[in-house]
């Protein structure tokens, strides 16, 4: 096992690649750090994270959305624009490449940006919801988001339901909302069956998702962590990379696929 604080070495990359080659079922747990190279800000980095400039319980809570939806939409607009225009980076593409080469992976993501799907990954569990769809708060009809988001991003028009004129809520999980039960159940089921978990770009600070790596370890799975900052479970990992996901992950994947 590599030291949680030591710099990654070529042997670490080889060890990680070997774990991928030997694995039968892999779960990839991704967080904000895999999407920051695509221009989407994370939530916690000091000075740059979204929460360093806004109080999350004020701006992005279910209560605020219900009582002052215009306040939520004003806060969400710049982020929606960044997500709407973002493209997958080398890390997203590397995971899609793994799947294309027959390595069985399930991606459980805390991100709402849909970049894994844009990159070509097909089995993606969206634990915190998605910006790709909107649901009416009155009649509950669901819509693909691009036609509505384009106008909202351009001029701030709050999206309204074509059927009943109710406000359309992005299908993302706000503070005060429970995780989508079906997605959470699927993530736990996949974790229990995995023999390898890779954590990529997550500080593992938000429960209950932060507990998934421990569930995997308790069932004998191997663990790889790639993150700029330490996580609570670094000491239990087989290999730890304290580095940029966009740099390290493609290297590991290339070694796993091509040896």
Q: Which residues are tagged catalytic?
A: 128
**CA distance readout (Å), 155 to 112, 123, 149:** 22, 34, 10
Is cis: bond before 208, omega within 30 of 0? yes
Closest by CA position to 111, among listed 95, 131, 84, 91: 131
Handedness of CA 79, 80, 84, 85 (dihedral sign): negative
**Bridge partner list, 129:** 172
- Beta carbons within 8 Å of 193's beta carbon, 6+ residues apart: 25
Interstrand relation of 196-200 and 26-30 (parallel, antiparallel or unpaired): parallel
How large is the greatest C-alpha to C-alpha distance in the chain, in angstroms?
A: 59
Residue 50 corresponds to which tokens in the numbers above?
């979204």
Q: What element of type H or E holds 188? A: helix 181-193
- Which of 56, 104, 113, 47 has the alpha carbon at shortest distance from 85? 113
Distance in angstroms between the alpha carbons of the first and the last residue of the chain: 20
């Amino acid at each position: 096992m590599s030291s949680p604080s030591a710099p990654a070495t070529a042997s670490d990359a080889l060890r990680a690649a070997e774990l991928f080659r030997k694995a039968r079922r892999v779960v990839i747990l991704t967080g904000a750090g895999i999407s920051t190279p695509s221009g989407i800000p994370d939530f916690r980095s000091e000075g740059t994270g979204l929460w360093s400039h806004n109080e999350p319980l004020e701006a992005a809570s279910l209560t605020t959305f219900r009582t002052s939806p215009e306040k939520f939409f004003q806060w969400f607009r710049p982020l929606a624009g960044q997500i709407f225009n973002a493209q997958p980076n080398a890390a997203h593409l590397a995971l899609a490449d793994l799947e294309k080469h027959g390595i069985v992976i399930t991606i459980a993501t805390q991100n709402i940006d849909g970049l894994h799907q844009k990159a070509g990954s097909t089995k993606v569990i969206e634990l915190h919801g998605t910006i790709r769809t909107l649901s009416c708060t009155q009649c509950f009809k669901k819509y693909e988001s691009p036609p509505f988001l384009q106008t909202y991003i351009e001029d701030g028009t709050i999206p309204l339901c074509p059927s009943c004129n109710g406000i359309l809520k992005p299908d993302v999980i706000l503070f005060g909302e429970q995780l989508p039960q079906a997605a959470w159940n699927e993530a736990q089921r996949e974790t229990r069956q995995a023999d390898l978990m890779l954590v990529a770009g997550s500080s593992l600070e938000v429960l209950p998702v932060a507990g998934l790596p421990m569930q995997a370890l308790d069932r004998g799975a191997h663990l790889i962590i790639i993150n700029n900052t330490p996580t609570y479970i670094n000491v239990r990992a087989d290999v730890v990379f304290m580095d940029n996901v966009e740099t390290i992950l493609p290297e590991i994947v290339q070694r796993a696929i091509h040896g």
